[in-house]
Amino acid sequence: MSPTARSSGKPKPAAKPATKATAPAARAGAKPKLAIFGAASCGGCDIAIVNIHEHILEVAAAFEIVLWPTIMDGKYSEIEAMEDGEITVTLVSGSMRTDETVHLARLLRRKSKLMVAFGSCASEGCIPGLANLSSRKQILDTAFSTTSTDNPEGIRPVWEYQAPEGVLHLPEFEPILRTLDQVVDVDYTIPGCPPESKQIWAALQAVVAALDGTGPLPPKGAVLGAGESTVCDECARKRDVKKIDHFVRIQQVASFDPEICLLEQGLPCNGPATRDGCGALCPSVAAPCIGCYGAAEGVVDYGARLMSAYASVIVATKPDEIDKVLDGIADPAGQFYRFSLAASLLRSSRTAWKSDGEQ
Amino acid sequence: MERITIDPVTRLEGHGKIEIFLDPDGEVANAYFQIPELRGFERFCVGRPVEEMPTLTNRICGVCPEAHHMAAAKAGDAVYHVEPPRTGRLLRELLYSAFYFTDHTTHFYALGGPDFIVGPDAPAAERNILGVVGKVGMEIGGKVIEARKNGHNVIEMIGGRKIHPATAVPGGMTHGITEEQRVEIERIGRWAVEFAQFSLGIFDKIVLGNDAYKEMVLSDAYTHKTYYMGLVDPNNKVNFYDGQVSIMSPEGERVGKYAPAEYRDWIAEHVEPWTYLKFPFLKKIGWKGFVDGVDSGVYCATPLSRLNTADGMATPLAQEAYERFYDTLAPATPGATGKRLVHHRLATHWARLVELLYAAERMVELATDPEITSTNIRTVPTDKPTEGVGTVEAPRGTLTHHYWTDERGVLTAVNLIVGTTNNYAPMAMSIKKAAQSLIHKGTVVHQGLLNRVEMAFRLYDPCFGCATHSLPGEMPLQVAIRNSDGDVIEVLSQNC
């Protein structure tokens, strides 16, 4: 059960009191403190927050923004000097890729009452989580030996380098990429790559309402700024029209029927396993859902759910027929775990897992 | 050896970090500009289907996903040896022009421009969009928000989403636009042309009308004579979406033009063990270290570089602005041959506005093309996929994606040379030069150093979202001055 910021006709579940996080008592005259921090990320989450446009002024009015390094001034040393729990809400975008990001996530957790995994990287690893199919050595070797790299001596970045003038340090690239909740305790998740700006605003409004006592504090573990169903439920395309006996690749089909479900036209679409909340943007422009809003409510493993959804539209019954249909999926690992590998039951390949310690 | 660390918010990963070492006389011995993050796209994209690359590589950078989306789609076209139908190509370029308009607007008003509009000597706390509003008037804040909204609306109409678009695929686009949308895009385009002219007017009045600012633009501290790179059309006019890559020498001679697929004959990437980012350089000249001049392979790929590598702009109003730019900063001298170049790096802000006007005019041209609403937007490939290169001019530099696939179109190798990366060496050099001009005999001009280093960054519009996550131009800086034992003796900070 999770309350949603989406206005739908569905009855809202009664909010349970949070097990750990409780609405902080507002000190007279003091605004609650907000921190926004990006770990290993593309910056798209920050842009999505900025794209709430004029509402950003309301956020600034409701909170004292104590940290948002990508956008505004903020003194990091002041965070270290704060009392534990002094920050009311911290939004973390980006994944845990280096020892520095892990250190900062832990520090912010200590200082914050509520910790929010903001966007796909923080909540499930996102596309960069596909790095967990390779070892750290393979990733570094590839990046520093590409076809245009001039590197006859096979130089690799090192965490500690003795330059002629002194020692230079780099954060350590960790063996596998982790999600925020694999590093610290997380109270809420706002999914999406990036979260849609109107959903961000809705989620922030819900938090503000909880803080000023006009709304319930969402229960710990809640997913905010999204629905409780799947992208298919908000997609305008018609379903259950037909079954398929093969998959197609998007570049092989000049145009798709604009009314019919893309999956039922043979295009591997991730809608059935993906949480609703975006408004089915991609299928509305004849592109498949790629799954950026993460696992639908109650789904333990995203890929497993998607596989069963595909199985339900396939007409093949004999094993060799089924194999033939599945051969139409060019990249099963990417198709089923494109955004969620780092958060899946597997988390990483054996190669990556075993590479701990080697550089 | 004494050491000065400029660490954007201590321990905050991803922002870039500067280490300046002083020699025994207290002069700058060396400066290191480190990028402390890597994600590994070139590795983990292997095994993915080529048609997914436009959406996967969007996630390299949330500030400029449109650039990766287009480069990836063009590389996909090349892998399958197909050309999109004319309308497919026009739609991609229209989306891309709207993106340029939005991105350049954000940079000029919110990130780079405040240094000029509010003034380089104004307190750091005022050198932001609010300071711009204070100086130019309330209406400008509303206009900037409107410009960004308008731009993102066009991106969403064509790309399906405001951030990380979804519609470009090998062979064209998944979706076209309706006549109703076309009308709206044309309206926004015409509004954008006026907005760009208005912006050039502000630059004229506030920067060119102020002798002190003009002197700073022309000062040696912000001058570098490097090679320049940029995409040009068949008439050698600046182009963002397609064309050949033009290379101009520091002396104004066009060294060559190459088709994107030949990039490896021209560019190589140098590796240093103290950073996660590589340093591209001109292969034919060679890597000679972090130095200027005609013998050094260091090049620059920015709005200034694009104007320097081209012979002009392809739209009339932008061409007028281009001529005024060169007549003001590099007046013609009788008998001189070769292209007139501007080496003053701070002039990059002005060059960006010339491009803003071109992007807006191009939006109108594309939105009024009779074929823009055609439904013929896809070419279905019939050839076996092999290998392909896709290049666009990203706002922060020439962007190249190179893919190799198996016979199913699944990637077997990926090479990426990303926009901002082109300028990594020039940025490192600008930082060193700023430090050298402000640190003598161990004496640091405190606020001056921070301002100058920050301004040296901002003119490049560095987008380490491509390598990290900091928004272009916003650089919280902290300088720790250490004695020869490595103990911190003084800390200065700005924006942090």
Q: Which residues pair with A161 in a beta bridge?
A: A168
Instruction: Using the predicted structure, report yes or no on whether residue A12 has a pLDDT greater than 70.
Output: no
Query: Is residue B97 included in any domain, yes or no?
Result: no
Residue B446 is predicted with a pLDDT of 59
Q: Which residues pair with A34 in a beta bridge?
A: A65, A89
Compare CB distances from A249 to B38, B51, B63 and report the shortest one's residue. B51
A157 to B273: CB separation less than 8 angstroms, yes or no: yes
Query: Is residue B142 included in any domain, yes or no?
Result: no
Residue B88 is predicted with a pLDDT of 98
Query: Is residue B267 included in any domain, yes or no?
Result: yes
CA atoms of B261 and B402, how far apart (whole Å): 8
A290 to B60: CB separation less than 8 angstroms, yes or no: no
The pTM (predicted TM-score) of the whole model is: 0.91
Q: Who has greater pLDDT, A337 or B452?
A: A337
CA distance B335 to chain A (A): 40
Residue A332 is predicted with a pLDDT of 95
Residue B9 is predicted with a pLDDT of 36
Q: Which two tokens stand for residue A152?
A: 């006859």
Q: Who has greater pLDDT, A68 or A123?
A: A123
Confidence of residue A7 (pLDDT cuts 50, 70, 90): very low
Portion of chain A with pLDDT greater than 70, in percent: 88
List chain B residues with CB under 8 Å of A146. Answer: 42, 269, 415
Mean per-residue pLDDT, A116-145: 96
Q: What residues does each domain of chain A span?
A: 33-125+177-211, 231-328
Boundary residue ending a domain (B327, B343, B359): B343
Is domain A33-125+177-211 classified as CATH 3.40.50.700? yes
Per the CB < 8 A criterion, the answer to whether B275 and B19 are in contact is no
Helix axes B138-159 and B179-203, enclosed angle (nearest 10) = 140
List chain A residues with CB under 8 Å of B167. Answer: 285-287
Choose the mutation target among B34, B38, B484 for the interface with A, i.e. most A CBs under 10 Å: B38
Q: Which residues of B388-427 are buried (b: 16+ CB within 10 A; e: fewer)?
A: bbbbbbbbbbbbbbbbbbeeebbbebbbbbbbbbbbbbbb
A100 to B11: CB separation less than 8 angstroms, yes or no: yes
Helices (H) and strands (E) in chain B, counts: 15, 18
Residue identified by tokens 């990001």 is: A101
Instruction: Using the predicted structure, report yes or no on whether residue A74 has a pLDDT greater than 70.
Output: no
ipTM of the complex: 0.90
B271 to A151: CB separation less than 8 angstroms, yes or no: yes
Q: Who has greater pLDDT, A170 or B450?
A: A170
How many A×B Cβ pairs under 8 Å?
286
Least confident of A122-126, A162-166, B123-127: B123-127
List chain B residues with CB under 8 Å of A267. Answer: none
CA distance A208 to chain B (A): 24
Choose the mutation target among A101, A126, A165 for the interface with B, i.e. most B CBs under 10 Å: A165
List, in sequence order, the alpha helices (H) in A44-189: 44-50, 55-62, 76-81, 99-111, 119-124, 136-143
CA distance B142 to chain A (A): 9
B43 to A165: CB separation less than 8 angstroms, yes or no: no
The helix, strand and coil proportions of chain B, stated in percent and rounded to the nearest 5, come to 45, 20, 35
CA atoms of B326 and B341, how far apart (whole Å): 8
Most confidently predicted of A62-66, A353-357, B283-287: B283-287
Q: Pairing mode, if any, of strands A33-38 and A64-67?
A: parallel
Q: Which two tokens stand for residue B476?
A: 């919280």
Residue B463 is predicted with a pLDDT of 52
Residue A351 is predicted with a pLDDT of 82
Boundary residue ending a domain (B343, B367, B400): B343
List chain A residues with CB under 8 Å of B275. Answer: 157, 170
- Closest-CA residue of chain A to B267: A148
Residue identified by tokens 């206009």 is: B143
Instruction: Using the predicted structure, report yes or no on whether residue A20 has a pLDDT greater than 50.
Output: no
Residue A319 is predicted with a pLDDT of 87
CA distance B246 to chain A (A): 19
Q: Which residues span the domain enclosing B283?
A: 224-343
Give the residue ranges of chain B where pLDDT is below 70.
Answer: 1, 4-16, 120-121, 123-131, 138, 442, 444-454, 457-459, 461-496
B15 to A75: CB separation less than 8 angstroms, yes or no: no
List chain A residues with CB under 8 Å of B484. Answer: none
B228 and B336 in a common domain: yes
Nearest to B247 by CA among B220, B212, B282, B215: B282
Residue B90 is predicted with a pLDDT of 98
Compare CB distances from A286 to B13, B174, B276 and report the shortest one's residue. B174
Query: How open is the CA angle B88-B89-B93, to the nearest 5 degrees?
Result: 120
- Closest-CA residue of chain A to B269: A149
CA distance A124 to chain B (A): 14
List chain B residues with CB under 8 Å of A289. Answer: none
Compare CB distances from B13 to A43, A44, A104 and report the shortest one's residue. A104
Compare CB distances from B34 to A45, A170, A292 and report the shortest one's residue. A170
Q: What tens digit of pLDDT does each residue of A24-62 get?
A: 444 445 889 999 988 888 888 988 988 887 787 788 788
List chain B residues with CB under 8 Å of A170. Answer: 34, 36, 274-276
Could you tell me where the beta strands, DSSP code E, fall in B78-174? 168-169, 172-173
A142 to B43: CB separation less than 8 angstroms, yes or no: yes
Query: Is residue B463 included in any domain, yes or no?
Result: yes
Compare CB distances from B59 to A75, A97, A128 and report the shortest one's residue. A128
Instruction: Using the predicted structure, report yes or no on whether residue A10 has a pLDDT greater than 50.
Output: no
Confidence of residue A72 (pLDDT cuts 50, 70, 90): low
Least confident of A126-135, A246-255, A311-320: A311-320
CA distance A240 to chain B (A): 23
- Closest-CA residue of chain B to A159: B274
Residue A26 is predicted with a pLDDT of 42
List chain B residues with CB under 8 Å of A51. Answer: 148, 152, 162-163
DSSP for B153-210, written as a single string: HHHHHHHSSSSS---EETTEES----HHHHHHHHHHHHHHHHHHHHHHHHHIIIIIT-
Q: Pairing mode, if any, of strands A33-38 and B2-6?
A: unpaired
Mean per-residue pLDDT, A202-230: 91
A331 to B49: CB separation less than 8 angstroms, yes or no: yes
Boundary residue ending a domain (B343, B373, B402): B343
- The single-letter DSSP state of residue A147 is T
CA distance A13 to chain B (A): 30
Query: Is residue B115 included in any domain, yes or no?
Result: no
Could you tell me where the beta strands, DSSP code E, fall in B93-147? none
Helix (H) or strand (E) holding B295: none
Query: Contacts by B445-452 with C-beta closer than 8 Å and gap 24+?
Result: B446/B492, B447/B492, B447/B494, B449/B479, B449/B492, B450/B477, B450/B479, B450/B492, B450/B493, B450/B494, B451/B120, B451/B124, B451/B494, B452/B221
A334 to B166: CB separation less than 8 angstroms, yes or no: no
- Closest-CA residue of chain B to A67: B496
A286 to B39: CB separation less than 8 angstroms, yes or no: no
CA distance A97 to chain B (A): 8
Q: Which two tokens stand for residue B467?
A: 């390598």
Choose the mutation target among B27, B35, B39 for the interface with A, i.e. most A CBs under 10 Å: B39
List chain B residues with CB under 8 Å of A161. Answer: 273-274
Helix (H) or strand (E) holding B348: helix B348-367
CA distance B206 to chain A (A): 25
Query: Is residue B484 included in any domain, yes or no?
Result: yes
- Closest-CA residue of chain B to A37: B12
B167 to A287: CB separation less than 8 angstroms, yes or no: yes
Q: How far is CA B100 from the centre of its chain?
A: 10
Per the CB < 8 A criterion, the answer to whether B145 and A180 are in contact is no
CA atoms of A266 and A261, how far apart (whole Å): 9
- Closest-CA residue of chain A to B59: A42
Dihedral of CA B436/B441/B445/B449: which sign?
positive
Per the CB < 8 A criterion, the answer to whether A200 and A191 are in contact is no
Per the CB < 8 A criterion, the answer to whether B476 and B494 are in contact is yes
Residue B490 is predicted with a pLDDT of 52
Nearest to B223 by CA among B130, B293, B162: B293
Instruction: Using the predicted structure, report yes or no on whether residue A21 has a pLDDT greater than 80.
Output: no
CA atoms of B464 and B277, how far apart (whole Å): 10
The helix, strand and coil proportions of chain A, stated in percent and rounded to the nearest 5, come to 35, 15, 50
